[in-house]
A and B are shown apart, each in its own frame.
Chain A
């Protein structure tokens, strides 16, 4: 039984990017984009979706496909988790993103859930954002009146479910700078949830670091489900960048984690558990890094 009346919702499909952008530009407060439906339709099914107007963007060709050039992998916002996992460049160069895609939902969800949706749904528990933050991803936002602009993904989420994006803008693609090939960095992604499939993360951890001549030459660390937004852990990064990893450095990095995360008690886990697991995951990563 659908716990809502479907006729309380308006849904249109202009079928072209121009048509969608016109709607958003002419009535910016009025329309919510709907892609694969794996967030919006879940709320509808649960009777928790406020009545409103939705514009289907599913299938828009300008938002699909993965383009690779010398500098970047540019992933269309409508690229599904299944498409991310199937792409040869993503598999070779973005293993954390592929793992996040593989552990989000299960097959049927991965065939509809999109990378763009995972970003603009703005859940702090989303699993693809931590890998994207580690790769210094940028977002390509498009609007009728402003054309296209490119913004760093780091800092895009400004608060719980809040983003620095205008209501007339649509996320067109995610641009991920390519790392050296072969990539000397250690990449580690860990999702901790009730089970690997379907369950939403209690905590999600992604880290990428490179050691040169015994010192950490480049480091990025990001987590989900530990703050009102997904977060880059810059205090921890600051403790290890340019340094050699030894026991004292690991202790200092773990202590710095408190400045980066503010987990809470909620339906999926507790603050205490999340703090403990976040520290353990960080320690595991640094120990693995020290052994390289």
Chain B
């Protein structure tokens, strides 16, 4: 048996310290210790992407990260994406294009899309599909999800042209 250890890290810009078992999943620490239930659990085995978060700016499956490996990192979850009341362009696009159905895959889909667009991804369907290949939607709403990301890509490109 192994007792809890101190996990100090930054979550959505705020310094946090929790006590958790070293092998506890980051997913459970976020949801249960910090109450950030926007991050979802789907398969729990790294297949579905519902638990996607950013660790130090990199998209990861939080079900595959032991709490101890989160020490000293900066985590961004779906709750940290909007700036106050201003939604991220990907969130706006999911609303506009009907990219969410039951909603379980949506936080992961949105963060995978944000990761793709932060890396300079464009509105090409094949590229979007590859970028979202690790995120499963059991409502099979893929058409509208891909459309949402393409819309967001276009909106971001427009914004960059005008700024």
Contact = CB atoms under 8 A, between A and B. Distances in A.
A109 B134 contact: yes
Interface in B11-31: 21-25, 28
A11 B68 contact: yes
B85 interface: no
A10 B63 CA distance: 17
**By CB atoms of chain B within 10 A, which of A3, A36, A38, A107 has the most?**
A107
B54 to A, nearest CB: 10
B64 A198 contact: no
A92 interface: no
A46 interface: yes
Q: Chain B: interface residue count, which band?
A: 35 or more
Contacts of B130: 106, 197
Contacts of A41: 25, 46, 63-66
Contacts, number: 112
Contacts of A197: 130, 133-134
A7 B44 contact: no
Interface residues of A, number: 36
Contacts of A70: none
A108 B59 contact: yes
Contact of B133 (A3, A7, A196): A196
A7 B23 contact: yes
A177 interface: no
A218 B17 CA distance: 57
Contacts of B3: 7
Interface of B: 1-3, 21-25, 28, 41, 43-47, 49, 52, 58-61, 63-66, 68-69, 71, 112, 115-116, 130-131, 133-135
